[in-house]
Amino acid sequence: MECMHIPDGILSVPVWATLNAAAVPGVGWAVRRARQGLAEGHVPLLGVMGAFVFAAQRMNFPVVFGASGHLLGGALLSMTLGPGAATIVLTSILILQSLLFQDGGLLALGANTVNMAIIGVWAGWLPYRFLSNGNLRTLGVFAGGFLSVFAAAAAAICELRLSGVPMNAAIVGVSTAVFVATAVLEGLITVAVLQAVERLNPGWLRKPQGLPNRSAGLLATVSVLMMIGGVLYISALPDGLESLAARLGVASREQLLFAAPMADYEVPFLAGEWGRKALGGLAGLTIIYGLCLTVGRLLVRQRSA
């Protein structure tokens, strides 16, 4: 599991089936919303931001109580792309992670989509939407990053409980502390990234309908560097949900429905660990960039038609 990615076998059939059914109209509504406001010049931004968030999600860092976390990116995407396009991009990342890298279950894809690409995105966007003007803007960005993680984590815990997983107050308390620490870091990282982009492009965030080549190139370069060099520093500690599952004694329920071609973000044909991880990450980076770009162009064409 990667922070909020639920694998197959953990949720009960009624829970994952209901969430799969709920995810379809949720993403469909996001598609309609994104199509209405998506301009031709906005399309490359989907690819750049999708690639950046994909790369950032690989960078696990230690938090508290022997657990790790990483950027989820729902708030960052919603603030730069709008919530509709953010849901589409994050859903594309989740699908790729499940099918290609065995990160998150296939049957649990609806749960992960609802938690991160719908709840997480909107929980991240609303504080920013209402606090984006005036002196409270930075607070709105931080609050959006914080709430995007905390809301997604709370939804995941509720789904585990609805699936019949027994929980006691001590375990929930420790796990809540892990998620709060991860949420704080999400808020700080979101603020830092947006401030860095705005230093290069003053006023851009108020109307992010495109990104100058210098800023797009910077984000792309950082994404590649994270995949090439950052993989050497990924924390080996269990992430938020993984540590929660271990404490609850349900980690053994995890099921693998199929063998993903690049499980654990590694290509299987290289001998060195660094080479396997770096090439696997770069492959994912390229695919998600192309996928988000393609989806964006299709939405623009549908609106024009």
What's the pLDDT tens digit per position in 72-103? 999 999 998 999 999 999 999 999 999 999 99
Q: Global pTM?
A: 0.93
Q: Is 141 helix (H, G, I), strand (E, B) or coil?
A: helix
Mean pLDDT of 91-118: 95
Q: The domain containing residue 134 runs over which residues? A: 13-304
Q: What angle do CA 192, 264, 266 make, to 5 degrees?
A: 95
* Position 8 in a domain: no
Q: 4: pLDDT confidence band, cut at 50, 70 and 90?
A: confident
What is the per-residue pLDDT across 153-191, written as a single tens digit (0 to 9) for each? 999 999 999 999 888 888 888 888 989 999 999 999 999
Domain assignment present for 164:
yes
Q: How far apart are CA 265 and CA 256, in angstroms?
A: 15
From 113, 116, 95, 149, select the one nearest 23 (Cα to Cα): 113
Taking each helix axis from N to C end, the angle separating 169-200 and 240-248, rounded to the nearest 10 degrees, works out to: 170
For residue 161, is it within any domain?
yes
Residue 209 lies in a domain: yes
Tens-digit pLDDT profile for residues 184-238 = 999 999 999 998 888 877 766 655 556 666 778 888 999 999 999 888 888 888 7
Considering the domain boundaries, does residue 247 fall inside one?
yes
> Which residues of the chain form beta strands (DSSP E)?
61-62, 68-69
User: Could you tell me if residue 95 is inside a domain?
Assistant: yes
Residue that is written with structure tokens 């500690």 in the block: 237
Residue 192 inside a domain? The answer is yes
Q: Is residue 41 scored above 80 in pLDDT?
A: no
Q: What is the pLDDT of residue 31?
A: 94
Task: Examine residue 4 and state whether it is found in any structural domain, yes or no.
Answer: no
pLDDT value of residue 204: 67
The predicted pLDDT at position 11 comes to 94
Phi, psi of 282 (to 5 degrees): -65, -35
pLDDT of residue 1: 40
* Per-residue pLDDT reduced to its tens digit, 250-297: 878 888 888 899 998 999 888 888 999 999 999 999 999 999 999 999
pLDDT surpassing 50 at residue 19: yes
pLDDT-derived band at 25 (thresholds 50, 70, 90) equals very high
Neighbours of 12 (CB within 10 A): 14
Chain-wide mean pLDDT for the chain?
89
CATH number assigned to the domain comprising residue 277? 1.10.1760.20
> How many domains is the chain built from?
1
Quote the CA–CA distance of 249 and 265 in Å, as a whole number: 26
Output the pLDDT for position 305.
67
pLDDT digits (tens, 9 = 90+) for 261-272: 999 899 988 888
